[in-house]
């Protein structure tokens, strides 16, 4: 004799959870509750036709719209009508009803899956990067994408931004801090910004920012190495650059030292921007794709000292007709020399930890002030630091244009004096 099903209770039904596949909870007398993977709960009842056959179970309603007590009554009615040959939900109709219920459940599940994908860290971070790209310099965007794609997405790419918590992010940042502390700090900054983006999209409540401030261990940070207090050492740097065997790298480093422009801007200099006769370099604030060329996004003009013009004329003889002033070196994927090539050259010349290409900006800011007495406002204007407001920015561009021409020639002459004050040592590449 088959074992009779134990009748269901409201508590059992309310606690029934979705599983990976549909399953049924029997109530007895042919009635059962089918729980779908999406969590939907549907009443089905088995019955016999007058010829003794059992057609497809009839779907009689969904819980909780149809309660347990009501489902039992309806099950008795279906079985009674079937026995009398008055089945209102025949086999085909019941099958269609079941298929319709499954289709609705499947549509709901697909919709939920699409929403989860849209709200995933992978998708939100991708939209965040796309939104930031027009306002960032190419190198800033490249670094952010590296951190997001290589460190964050592999760990938390599938995390739902609607429910993401600090505890979900902490292990990733702590692991990064142990191996790449500087990138970990960037990653923490990026995660905070990505969460803000999710809030702006309406995926999270306004007050749901993560608590990331104290996650990482405190580390001692410093500025990029630069010679700022030793004239003799800066003279050594200039002598080494002058003797460098690679004329492309040499010219790029000379341009960086005499204009104090950022290394990425120097490396990507275009001939269309440079007027050798006027001795000017007019740098557009934006790249053709709309991303920032200058950090401020504003057009900038710097004068070119006589020594910089000489170095550029040498390059003009080599690359006239090309788009970029400094062509790429062996195996480089960029259309121009990589800014990393400039930093690598200084390291190979023996200045690792002492001076970088970016360090010429600090050298001008400090030694230009202390040795040449250049006004601070003029120095800030030459370094293209963002003024406090637009009025001040316009004022600085107009007021200091000619003054900057004078002081940058004086700075180039000062570098020449330092270079000539000692013996020139030919550069030899380290093994």
Specify the CATH number for the domain of residue 265.
1.10.443.10
- Overall domain count for the chain: 3
Say if 226 falls within a structural domain: no
- Domain finish residue from 85, 115, 145: 115
pLDDT at 423 over 80: no
Rounded-to-10 torsion of CA 3, 4, 7, 8: 40
Mean pLDDT computed over every residue of the chain: 85
Question: Domain check: are 104 and 133 in the same one?
Answer: no
How much is the pLDDT for 393? 55
Question: Domain check: are 166 and 60 in the same one?
Answer: no
Question: Domain check: are 369 and 406 in the same one?
Answer: yes
For 225-278, the DSSP string reads: P---S-HHHHHHHHHHHHT-S-HHHHHHHHHHHHH---HHHHHT-BGGGEETTT
Question: Domain check: are 350 and 242 in the same one?
Answer: yes
Question: Domain check: are 132 and 76 in the same one?
Answer: no
**Torsion-angle region of 198 (φ positive above 0: left; ψ -120 to 50: alpha; else: beta):** alpha
Q: Minimum mean pLDDT among 118-122, 157-161, 175-179, 371-375: which range? A: 175-179
pLDDT at 427 over 50: no
Global confidence as pTM? 0.53
Among 3-12, 85-94, 248-257, 289-298, which range has the highest average pLDDT? 248-257
Question: Domain check: are 194 and 288 in the same one?
Answer: no
Q: How confident is the model at residue 430 (pLDDT cuts 50, 70, 90)?
A: very low
Residues forming a β-bridge with 43:
33, 61
pLDDT 10s digits, 143-200: 899 899 999 999 999 999 999 999 999 999 999 888 878 788 899 999 999 999 999 9
What distances in angstroms separate CA 218 from CA 151, 244, 299, one per listed residue? 20, 40, 38
Cβ proximity of 91 and 85 under 8 Å: no
CA–chain centroid gap for 182, Å, is 15
pLDDT at 287 over 60: yes
Question: Domain check: are 400 and 269 in the same one?
Answer: yes
Q: How far apart are the first and last CA of the chain?
A: 89
Instruction: Tell me the C-alpha distance between 86 and 58, whole Å.
Output: 14
Instruction: Tell me the C-alpha distance between 148 and 155, whole Å.
Output: 10
Question: Domain check: are 351 and 414 in the same one?
Answer: yes
Strand, helix or coil for residue 34? strand
Question: Domain check: are 172 and 298 in the same one?
Answer: no
pLDDT at 91 over 50: no
Segments forming the whole domain that contains residue 157: 121-200
Instruction: Tell me the C-alpha distance between 366 and 223, whole Å.
Output: 14
Instruction: Tell me the C-alpha distance between 309 and 248, whole Å.
Output: 14
Question: Domain check: are 396 and 311 in the same one?
Answer: yes
pLDDT 10s digits, 123-155: 999 999 999 988 888 878 888 998 999 999 999
How much is the pLDDT for 251? 95
How much is the pLDDT for 424? 41
């Amino acid at each position: 004799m088959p074992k009779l099903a134990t009748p269901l209770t409201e508590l059992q039904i309310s606690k029934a959870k979705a599983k990976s596949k549909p399953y049924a909870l029997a109530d007895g007398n042919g009635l059962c509750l089918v729980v779908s993977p999406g969590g939907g709960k549907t009443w089905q009842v088995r019955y016999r036709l007058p010829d003794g056959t059992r057609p497809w179970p009839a779907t009689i309603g969904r819980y909780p719209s149809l309660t347990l007590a009501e489902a039992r009554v309806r099950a008795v009615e279906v079985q009674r009508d079937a026995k009398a040959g008055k089945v209102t939900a025949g086999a085909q109709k019941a099958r269609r009803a079941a298929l319709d219920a499954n289709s609705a459940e499947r549509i709901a599940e697909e919709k939920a899956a699409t929403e989860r994908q849209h709200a995933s860290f992978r998708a939100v971070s991708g939209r965040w990067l796309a939104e930031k790209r027009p306002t960032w310099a190419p190198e800033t965007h490249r670094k952010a994408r590296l951190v997001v794609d290589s460190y964050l997405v592999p760990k938390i790419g599938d995390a739902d931004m609607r429910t993401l918590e600090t505890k979900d992010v902490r292990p990733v940042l702590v692991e990064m801090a142990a191996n790449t502390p500087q990138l970990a700090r960037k990653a923490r900054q990026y995660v905070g910004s990505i969460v803000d983006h999710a809030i702006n999209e309406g995926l999270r409540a306004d007050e749901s920012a993560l608590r990331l401030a104290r996650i990482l261990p405190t580390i001692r940070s410093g500025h990029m190495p630069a010679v700022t207090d030793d004239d003799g050492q800066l003279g050594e740097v200039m002598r080494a650059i002058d003797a460098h065997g690679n004329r492309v790298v040499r010219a790029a480093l000379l341009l960086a030292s005499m204009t104090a422009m950022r290394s990425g801007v120097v490396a990507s200099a275009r001939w269309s921007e440079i007027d050798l006769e006027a001795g000017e370099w007019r740098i557009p604030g934006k790249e053709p794709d709309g991303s920032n060329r200058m950090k401020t996004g504003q057009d900038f003009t710097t004068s070119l000292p006589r020594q910089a013009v000489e170095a550029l004329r040498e390059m003009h003889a080599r690359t006239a007709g090309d788009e970029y002033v400094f062509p790429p070196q062996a195996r480089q994927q960029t259309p121009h020399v990589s800014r990393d090539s400039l930093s690598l050259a200084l390291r190979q010349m023996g200045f690792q930890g002492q001076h970088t290409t970016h360090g010429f900006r600090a050298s001008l800011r400090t030694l230009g002030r202390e040795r040449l007495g250049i006004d601070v406002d003029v120095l800030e204007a030459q370094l293209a630091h963002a003024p406090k407001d637009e009025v001040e920015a316009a004022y600085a561009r107009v007021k200091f244009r000619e003054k900057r021409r004078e002081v940058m020639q004086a700075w180039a002459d000062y570098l020449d004096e330092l270079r000539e004050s000692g013996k020139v040592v030919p550069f030899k590449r380290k093994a």
